[in-house]
């Protein structure tokens, strides 16, 4: 214990001294608060690392993940006011996301007032649908930064919470497979660019990403040993925190884990107690979600009806925002039947953030870097995710094929739901999508391990299809911004992409059949 303190305390003091340098307000007060947070956070990380088996590889992952998020938080705070858009109050204050700017500002105002922290759940200012993160941020400002508004202190919590999820995710991956699966999965989980951005911002996503990982580990451990008390605590506290931050995520995670239990326990009986717990949690989630959404003056009186009505309104509103903000989307909507507007917007959202657009569209250096890194992460992950469905039949065990099919379907369902809800927005699509990064990282790692073992030709084929997509869209975006390039109509471009992709797939099928014969 004393040895741990001797290591962690000086590291905390040094990191806090560097961190406080970029915060506003009294330097000593900022340093003292940051040192306390660093010490508690690093102590928790060290304890979790030892609990997870003291793997040196895991230690490197945790360290790199935390440093990247801390560095990113400071860099954004410093460079956004310099290299961001001058007419944006949000960026001049050092925030990447407008939602974070509104919520964090409201949190500091609440902290400075005499109102109780629980008033964050009253929804009077609508800066946080559910109130959990608003109450937490206000508490941090009230007790750790009362003299000045220091957004970096919330970003520090985000970075530490994001890193705290890594040991739980490592243990969950090892429950599902060996270290051969856990290592690539945990690297994806820790270094996925969208996750790094979220973990360096004042957003709720890093908290939800970690809570998904904790509840996944706890459930898997509980399935293995029903008397394992840490797993029971992990499930209970994890879902409680999820309900306070986002009941909708709690519902999806409950459904995923419940179906997984049915698949995994096909030869054993699900207890009545387990069924009652799941139903109770789902009903509670629905009640909290509908209560939070009811402040938007919905017509429906029932909780389920309120959720459905709000979702419909949100989808239509996001579609309207996309159409209003893009001239070429307006043109496409005029040319296509109204019945395919929603499918088009959903498909468009699946491509966000578009890598060619991030490379070609003129913007400031910091936004160019952010756009390219976020898009690159998604365009590297997506083809391996898709290949995962091709790799499933190659697994030896029928039970493993069923389990990983469910993982893949859950990933695909969530990605489509995120795209549908976000209305094709280049920021909302990725941030909704990344909430269930734990499932996506596991499914991608399973696909990657299968590819490494079998050297299947289908992953290179899918990468070829993606290269065709990127090449045509690069030309299309270049023609929009640089007149010297010939313009190809959107419909003709899509036809070319689909035609060439079908040819690649058909050639692959023919080659596989020849080998089989």
pLDDT tens profile 368-386: 999 999 999 999 999 999 9
Query: In the 8-state DSSP scheme, what is residue 146?
Result: S
Q: Are residues 57 and 178 in the same domain?
A: yes
When pLDDT is cut at 50, 70 and 90, the band that residue 180 belongs to is very high
Domain end (from 182, 204, 226): 204
Domain end (from 189, 204, 219): 204
Distance CA 158, CA 199 (A): 5
Residue 403 forms part of a structural domain: yes
494 burial (CB, 10 Å; 0-12 / 13-18 / 19+) is middle
- Whether the per-residue pLDDT at 487 is higher than 70: the answer is yes
Distance CA 42, CA 266 (A): 41
Q: Are residues 383 and 362 in the same domain?
A: yes
Q: Are 173 and 446 spatial neighbours (Cβ–Cβ below 8 Å)?
A: no
514 CB-near residues (< 8 Å, 6+ apart): none
Residue 224 forms part of a structural domain: no
**Angle at the Cα of 412 (from 477 to 475), degrees rounded to 5?**
10
Q: Are 473 and 354 spatial neighbours (Cβ–Cβ below 8 Å)?
A: yes
Q: Are residues 20 and 90 in the same domain?
A: yes
Instruction: Map tokens 């946080």 to a residue.
Output: 128
Q: Are residues 438 and 477 in the same domain?
A: no
CA atoms within 13 A on the CB side of 305: 6
Domain of 340? 336-455
Residue 380: per-residue pLDDT: 96
216 CB-near residues (< 8 Å, 6+ apart): 168, 169, 172, 253, 257, 438, 439
Q: Are residues 83 and 146 in the same domain?
A: yes
Which of the given ranges, 112-121, 215-224, 305-314, 477-486, has the highest pLDDT on average?
215-224
Number of domains in the chain: 3
For residues 360, 366, 367, 373, the Cα torsion angle rounded to the nearest 10 degrees is 80
Q: Are residues 8 and 148 in the same domain?
A: yes
pLDDT tens digit sequence for 28-59? 989 999 999 999 999 999 999 999 999 999 99
Q: Are 387 and 462 spatial neighbours (Cβ–Cβ below 8 Å)?
A: yes
Per-residue 3-state assignment (H helix, E strand, C coil) for 295-322: HHCCCCCCHHHHHHHHHHHHHHHHHHHH
Q: Are residues 340 and 484 in the same domain?
A: no
Q: Are residues 91 and 138 in the same domain?
A: yes
Residue 303 forms part of a structural domain: no
Helix or strand or coil: residue 485?
Answer: coil
Instruction: Map tokens 């989808």 to a residue.
Output: 315
Distance CA 75, CA 67 (A): 12
- Whether the per-residue pLDDT at 100 is higher than 70: the answer is yes
Q: Are residues 389 and 442 in the same domain?
A: yes
- Whether the per-residue pLDDT at 300 is higher than 70: the answer is no
- Whether the per-residue pLDDT at 392 is higher than 60: the answer is yes
Q: Which residue has the higher pLDDT, 4 or 233?
A: 233
Q: Are residues 47 and 166 in the same domain?
A: yes
Residue 404 forms part of a structural domain: yes
pLDDT tens digit sequence for 112-152? 998 898 888 875 556 777 788 999 999 999 999 888 899 99
Residue 241 forms part of a structural domain: no
Residue 44 forms part of a structural domain: yes
Residue 305 forms part of a structural domain: no
| Phi, psi (deg, nearest 5) at residue 427 | -105, -45
When pLDDT is cut at 50, 70 and 90, the band that residue 230 belongs to is confident
Query: In the 8-state DSSP scheme, what is residue 352?
Result: P
CA distances to 99, 447, 471, 516 from 456, rounded to whole Å, are 43, 10, 24, 14
DSSP for 56-122 reads HHHHHHHHHHHHHHHHHHHHHHHHHHHHS-TT-HHHHTT-S-HHHHHHHHHHHHHHHSSS-GGGGGG
Residue 408 forms part of a structural domain: yes
Distance CA 154, CA 201 (A): 8
CA distances to 218, 236, 259 from 233, rounded to whole Å, are 8, 5, 21
Instruction: Map tokens 């508490």 to a residue.
Output: 139
Which sign, positive or negative, has the C-alpha torsion 485, 499, 425, 407?
negative
Query: What tokens does 506 get?
Result: 């058909």
pLDDT tens digit sequence for 430-458? 999 999 999 999 999 999 999 999 888 99
Residue 412: per-residue pLDDT: 95
pLDDT tens digit sequence for 6-24? 889 999 999 999 998 998 8
Domain end (from 440, 455, 470): 455
Q: Are residues 376 and 415 in the same domain?
A: yes
Q: Which of 112-126, 245-259, 264-278, 408-422 has the lowest mean pLDDT?
A: 264-278
Q: Are 102 and 88 spatial neighbours (Cβ–Cβ below 8 Å)?
A: no
- Whether the per-residue pLDDT at 309 is higher than 90: the answer is no
Q: Are residues 356 and 440 in the same domain?
A: yes
């Amino acid at each position: 214990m004393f040895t741990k303190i001797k290591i962690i305390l000086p590291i905390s003091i040094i990191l806090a001294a560097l961190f406080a340098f970029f915060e506003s307000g009294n330097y000593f007060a900022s340093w003292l608060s940051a040192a306390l947070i660093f010490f508690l956070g690093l102590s928790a990380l060290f304890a979790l690392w030892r609990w997870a088996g003291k793997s040196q590889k895991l230690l490197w992952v945790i360290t790199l993940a935390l440093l990247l998020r801390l560095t990113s938080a400071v860099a954004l705070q410093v460079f956004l006011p310099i290299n961001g858009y001058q007419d944006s109050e949000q960026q001049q204050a050092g925030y990447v996301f407008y939602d974070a700017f509104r919520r964090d500002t409201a949190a500091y105002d609440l902290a400075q007032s005499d109102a109780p922290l629980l008033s964050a759940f009253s929804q009077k200012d609508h800066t946080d649908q559910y109130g959990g993160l608003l109450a937490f941020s206000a508490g941090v400002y009230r007790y750790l930064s009362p003299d000045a508004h220091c957004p970096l202190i919330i970003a520090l919590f985000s970075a530490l919470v994001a890193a705290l999820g890594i040991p739980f995710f490592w243990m969950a991956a090892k429950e599902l497979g060996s270290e051969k699966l856990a290592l690539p999965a945990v690297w994806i989980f820790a270094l996925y660019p969208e996750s790094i951005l979220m973990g360096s911002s004042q957003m709720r996503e890093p908290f939800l990403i970690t809570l998904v990982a904790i509840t996944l580990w706890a459930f898997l451990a509980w399935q293995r040993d029903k008397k394992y008390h840490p797993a029971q605590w992990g499930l209970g506290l994890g879902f409680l925190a999820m309900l306070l931050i986002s009941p909708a995520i709690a519902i999806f995670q409950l459904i995923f884990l419940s179906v997984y239990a049915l698949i995994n326990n096909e030869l054993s009986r699900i207890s009545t107690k387990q069924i009652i717990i799941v139903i109770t949690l789902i009903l509670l989630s629905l009640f909290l979600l509908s209560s939070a959404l009811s402040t938007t003056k919905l017509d429906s009186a029932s909780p389920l009806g309120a959720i459905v009505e709000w979702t419909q309104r949100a989808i239509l509103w996001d579609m309207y925002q996309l159409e209003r903000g893009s001239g070429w989307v307006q043109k496409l909507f005029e040319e296509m039947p109204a019945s395919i507007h929603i499918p088009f917007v959903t498909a468009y959202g699946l491509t966000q953030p578009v890598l060619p657009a991030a490379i070609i569209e003129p913007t400031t250096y910091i936004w160019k870097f952010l756009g390219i890194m976020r898009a690159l992460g998604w365009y590297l992950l997506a083809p391996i995710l898709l290949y995962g469905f091709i790799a499933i039949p190659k697994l030896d065990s029928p039970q493993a094929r069923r389990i990983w099919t469910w993982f893949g379907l859950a990933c695909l369902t969530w990605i489509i739901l995120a795209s549908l809800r976000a209305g094709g927005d280049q920021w909302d699509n990725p941030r909704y999508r990344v909430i269930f990064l734990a499932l996506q990282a596991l499914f991608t790692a399973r696909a990657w391990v299968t590819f490494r073992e079998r050297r299947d030709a289908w992953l290179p084929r899918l990468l070829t299809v993606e290269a065709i997509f990127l090449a045509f869209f690069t030309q299309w975006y270049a023609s929009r911004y640089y007149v010297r390039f010939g313009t190809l109509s959107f419909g003709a471009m899509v036809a070319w992409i689909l035609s060439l992709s079908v040819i690649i797939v058909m050639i692959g099928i023919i080659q596989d059949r020849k080998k089989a014969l």
